[in-house]
C-alpha cells in the first residue's frame, strides 16, 4: 500500500460539491450583510417600544437569524474538509490546524476594519472546541452541541457564545450525513421541519416584538433567531428542490462558494459607502437596503464571472494553499468541477 508523504500531503483533486450547501451559505451572507452594515457604518439604534421602524424589522427578520446558520455550516464544512483530507494525508488534523491558524490571522486583520467580526472567534473556537471534538464519536459531538447551546441560551443572551454549540452540531450533522439529505431532500421531512419552525417562531416573535427594546440582549431574541434560522434553511432546501431550484442556486451558490472573499470584500465596499453623506445618521437607514442589494448584485455577478475561470475565490485559494502547505491549482480544468467540498 502506498504510504502518503507526510511532509507534503497531496492537495485536493476532485470531489463533488453540494450546491445546496453553497446556496445556504450564500443565503446566510445575504442576511448577515445588512446587519453588519449597521455596525460598520455606525448607524444609531432606535430604542423603545415597537414602532415598525426598519431597525426593528431587521431585529425580527435578520439579526441573530443568519449568523447561527453561517456558524452551523462552518462546523459542517469542517467535517467535510477533514473527511476529504483523510483520504490524502495521514494527518488530516494538521490541514485543519493550519487552516484555522490562517483564518485567525485573517480575522485579526479584519477586526481592524470591522470590530466584532466573526472570523477571529471562529478560528479560536475552531482550535479550542472543533478540532479536538473531531476525534469524538458522533453521538457525543451531537450531545455536546445541544448542551452547549442550551447552556448559552439559559444563562446568557447567546451571541458569540452560541458558536461552540453550533460548530459541534454542524460537525455532528455532517457525520450523520445531513449534507446528503440537503443535496437530495426528502420533501415531506423538510416540510415538517419548516412547519415546526413556523409554529415555534410565532409565539417567540410575538414576545420579541413586545420586548423589542431588549432584542439582542435577551434569551427570547436569541432563541427566536435559532428557530428562524432553521426555518430559513429548511425553506431554502425545499426551494432548491423545486422547479425554480436551478435559478435560485445559480444566484446564491456562487455567492456561497466565494463566501470568505465576499464576506471580506463586503466590509471594504461598506466602508467606501460610508463616505456617501446619505449613509450616515438616522437617515442612513433609508439607503441601507438599496446599498445592501447593490453590494449583493455586484458580488453575485463577480462570483459567477470568477468561477467560470477559477476553482476558488482569491482568499479561498490562499487559505487552501496554506492549509495544504503547497499552492493548489487555481484555474478550472476544461469541463471539470471544482475540487472543493466547501468554501469555509
Span 292-321, pLDDT tens digits: 999 999 999 999 999 999 999 999 999 999
**What was the pLDDT predicted at 14?**
39
List the domain boundaries for the chain.
19-324
Q: Where are the beta strands (DSSP E) in 85-232?
A: none
Q: Give the list of residues 6+ apart from residue 182 with CB closer than 8 angstroms, or none.
A: 18, 20, 21, 24, 237
- Burial (CB < 10 A; 0-12, 13-18, 19+), residue 278, is exposed
| pLDDT tens per residue, range 182-203 | 999 999 999 999 999 999 999 9
Element (H, E) at 141: helix 138-155
Question: For residue 203, what is its C-alpha cell?
Answer: 409565539
- Burial (CB < 10 A; 0-12, 13-18, 19+), residue 302, is middle
Instruction: Identify the segments of the chain with pLDDT beneath 50.
Output: 1-8, 12-15, 334-340
CA–CA separation, 296 and 222 (whole Å): 26
Amino acid at each position: 500500500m502506498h504510504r502518503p508523504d507526510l511532509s507534503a500531503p497531496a492537495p485536493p483533486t476532485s470531489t463533488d460539491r453540494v450546491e445546496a450547501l453553497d446556496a445556504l451559505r450564500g443565503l446566510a451572507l445575504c442576511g448577515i450583510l445588512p446587519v453588519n452594515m449597521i455596525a460598520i457604518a455606525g448607524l444609531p439604534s432606535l430604542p423603545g417600544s415597537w414602532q415598525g421602524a426598519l431597525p426593528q424589522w431587521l431585529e425580527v427578520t435578520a439579526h441573530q437569524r443568519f449568523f447561527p446558520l453561517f456558524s452551523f455550516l462552518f462546523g459542517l464544512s469542517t467535517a467535510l474538509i477533514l473527511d476529504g483530507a483523510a483520504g490524502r494525508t495521514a494527518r488530516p488534523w494538521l490541514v485543519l490546524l493550519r487552516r484555522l491558524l490562517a483564518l485567525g490571522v485573517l480575522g485579526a486583520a479584519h477586526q481592524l476594519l470591522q470590530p466584532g467580526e466573526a472570523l477571529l472567534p471562529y478560528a479560536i473556537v475552531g482550535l479550542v472546541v472543533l478540532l479536538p471534538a473531531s476525534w469524538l464519536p458522533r453521538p457525543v459531538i451531537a450531545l455536546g452541541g445541544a448542551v452547549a447551546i442550551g447552556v448559552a441560551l439559559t444563562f446568557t443572551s447567546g451571541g458569540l457564545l452560541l458558536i461552540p454549540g453550533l460548530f459541534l452540531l454542524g460537525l455532528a450533522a455532517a457525520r450523520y450525513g445531513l449534507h446528503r439529505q440537503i443535496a437530495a431532500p426528502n420533501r415531506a421531512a423538510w416540510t415538517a421541519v419548516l412547519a415546526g419552525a413556523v409554529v415555534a417562531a410565532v409565539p417567540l416573535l410575538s414576545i420579541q416584538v413586545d420586548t423589542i427594546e431588549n432584542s439582542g440582549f435577551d434569551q427570547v431574541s436569541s432563541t427566536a433567531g435559532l428557530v428562524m434560522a432553521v426555518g430559513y434553511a429548511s425553506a431554502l432546501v425545499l426551494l432548491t428542490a423545486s422547479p425554480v431550484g436551478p435559478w435560485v442556486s445559480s444566484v446564491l451558490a456562487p455567492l456561497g462558494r466565494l463566501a470568505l472573499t465576499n464576506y471580506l470584500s463586503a466590509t471594504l465596499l461598506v466602508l467606501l459607502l460610508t463616505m456617501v453623506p446619505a449613509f450616515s445618521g438616522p437617515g442612513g437607514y433609508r439607503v441601507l437596503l438599496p446599498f445592501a442589494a447593490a453590494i449583493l448584485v455586484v458580488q453575485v455577478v463577480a462570483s459567477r464571472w470568477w468561477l467560470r475561470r477559477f476553482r476558488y475565490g482569491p482568499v479561498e485559494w490562499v487559505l487552501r494553499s496554506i492549509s495544504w502547505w503547497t499552492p493548489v491549482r487555481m484555474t478550472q480544468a476544461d469541463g471539470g468541477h471544482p475540487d472543493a467540498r466547501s468554501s469555509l
